[in-house]
Chains A and B, each alone.
Chain A
Amino acid sequence: MSERPSIENSESHPGILVAGGDWTLANAQALLALLAAAPESAKDIDGRDISRLDSAGAMMLSRYAVKVGLGLATVAVQPEFQPLTGTVQAICESPPRTRRRDYGVRQMLGRMGYAVEDYTRESLALVGFLGLTLKTGLGVALRPARFRLTPTVHHMEQVGLDAVPLVILLSFMVGAVIAFLGATVLRDFGAEIFVVELVGIAFLREFGVLLTAILLAGRTASAFTAQIGAMQSGEEIDAIRTLGLDPIELLVIPRLVALVVMLPLLTFLAMIAGIGGGMAVSVASLGITPEMFITRLQETLEVRHFWVGLAKAPLFAVVIALIGCLEGFQVQGTAQSVGERTTSSVVQSISLVILLDAFAALFFMEMDW
């Protein structure tokens, strides 16, 4: 039932083009070829032989009509197609199309600009949120009756206790890996015994707290964001506000307190597990007995390393809790937004934790601590 489209010079009236056949999307390929080969000029176009016309066909007819110096309005078509040609003409031949797609430098610059603005805004929001939380926290501290113990304990369980196996397992593994690495290098100098210091200092100063913080950034920051984000998109946060409650006090303070308490405790476990991992490798493959390992640890390791490591834990806890909660509050309605914000909260908290750790390492080194 499909007729081939055509456009050719009229035999009886030279200069007038006669269009016919099916001018439809299904024939678009043929039409393109046809119109490319069609005469460059015409006095008039007669479209009354067109048997089927859809908006794609009308658009191509309109483009051709404009190209030869006519407009779609001058093309005669069957009355049933007139509403269509009218609509398409109004759209296709209306004021010049300003914009074309732009894949180039401008777009890249634009995106860079957006990203910079975005980061600035996020940083400001985080600082603002820190202030807000501190203020609310102070209020709660002054009136301890307002402190919500039950949710805090609940979050402690989720954030701390439930994470214990994971933290221990991973720290143990990393401790073992570090011992292996150290042993391979130190064996050449016949100094395998220094593996004890390597694992000890590494875990007390850096890895214990860093590993725990990164794990919790992935595990807890995302959970905070998703919990608060789901509440935000369900208008629960608005309900909390209109009921005269403070969402910061209700949602953020318990999470923050739980994390600030639990992260140092988990860090302590991670330190022990990491050193345990190092000891396991030393015993299994370096010929160092557990007694030797512990004695050496006691003799060479100063307690300041432990404090340097542990001092960072509450700081990281604040960063993770704040970013997790803040991103949750920034969720806008849709499920997709919850996903985006969760990703963003994990990425931000991990990066910030590592960044702060680097600064802290510099600081402690300069201070000779």
Chain B
Amino acid sequence: MSAVDQETAAIQVRGLRNAFGSQVVHEDLDLDVRRGEIIGVVGGSGTGKSVLMRAILGLREPQAGTIEVLGVDALSEAGRSSGVIEKNTGVLYQNGALFSSLTVAENVAVPLKEHYGELPEDMIQDLALLKIRMAGLGEDAGAKLPSQLSGGMRKRAALARALALDPELLFLDEPTAGLDPIAAAAFDTLIKTLQRALGLTVFLITHDLDTLYTICDRVAVLADRRVLVNAPLAEVEKFDHPWVQEYFHGPRGRAAQAAQAKEA
């Protein structure tokens, strides 16, 4: 990737408005995600983090605004039918959303078969296996059904599926929720390693302060129906807003800061 497109935005949201009936979730929301960065999206419950992600992915039609993903207008008919966004994004849903009737390897192979069905079967199998191992699972995990995996392994299997098409953009919806602290830390490291190795742009929704401190390049805070601030963590911490102050300077925030300072 050259220095020029490093600067261009991977995701550009302008003037987004999302509302459910009379309840407005987003109003005039702007967000830029640069290529090759890990952006952490935080906000209290109900501030529309998942709604924002669904809008960017085209799963939800916003009431107003424009969304550009990898230079493609995500809201236009042409942008949607081109398949560019599907082929270049991977999504890790909160509960994995693995297809429960398929084995892990079959789950990973689904997008490959859908978009690159002309490839020979053994090539697809090898690629699926590569992704499974990249996600930190053993080869024997490929033959297992999602129900036979632990929570942490299921997240890794879902990550393997999200990476199947070698996407440029990776969306993670609370990847460490429901994991124990050790598994969560391991998952953070895995995301960082893969992001570096594959040159990914990562859109990360999280409540986990440790994740923010360990792997995020920038943090976007959602509050008051818009992106309050989108900057490196050090700047965000200083931002003058009651929610931000409480979030980063509450007991948990301080603990995460201390842990980070200790490691550094």
Contact = CB atoms under 8 A, between A and B. Distances in A.
B127 A59 contact: yes
B199 A55 contact: no
B170 interface: no
A86 B197 contact: yes
A59 B126 contact: yes
Nearest to B120: A32
Contacts, number: 58
A55 B147 contact: no
A245 B160 CA distance: 45
Given A25-B165, A29-B118, A92-B130, A336 B197 contact: no
Nearest to A101: B125
B1 A99 contact: no
Contact of A32 (B123, B166, B196, B198): B123
A87 interface: yes
A88 interface: yes
Contact of B166 (A25, A29, A86, A97): A25
A120 interface: no
Interface string A68-110: 0000000000001001101110011000011101000000000
A55 B130 contact: yes
Contacts of B140: 99
A336 B198 contact: no
A25 B116 contact: yes
Interface in A26-57: 26, 28-29, 32, 54-56
A24 interface: yes
B26 interface: no
B142 to A, nearest CB: 9
Nearest to B132: A91
Contacts of B130: 55-56, 59, 88, 91-92
A91 B1 contact: no
* Size category, A interface: 20 to 34
Contacts of B116: 25, 28-29
Contacts of A83: 196-197
Contact of A87 (B123, B125, B134): B134
Contacts of B127: 25, 55-56, 59
A334 interface: yes
Interface string A5-30: 00000000000000000001110110
Nearest to A337: B147
B249 interface: no
B100 interface: yes
A83 B198 CA distance: 8
A169 B166 CA distance: 60
Contacts of B198: 54-55, 84
13 contacts: A24-B166, A25-B166, A28-B123, A29-B118, A29-B119, A54-B166, A55-B134, A55-B163, A55-B166, A84-B197, A84-B198, A87-B193, A336-B100
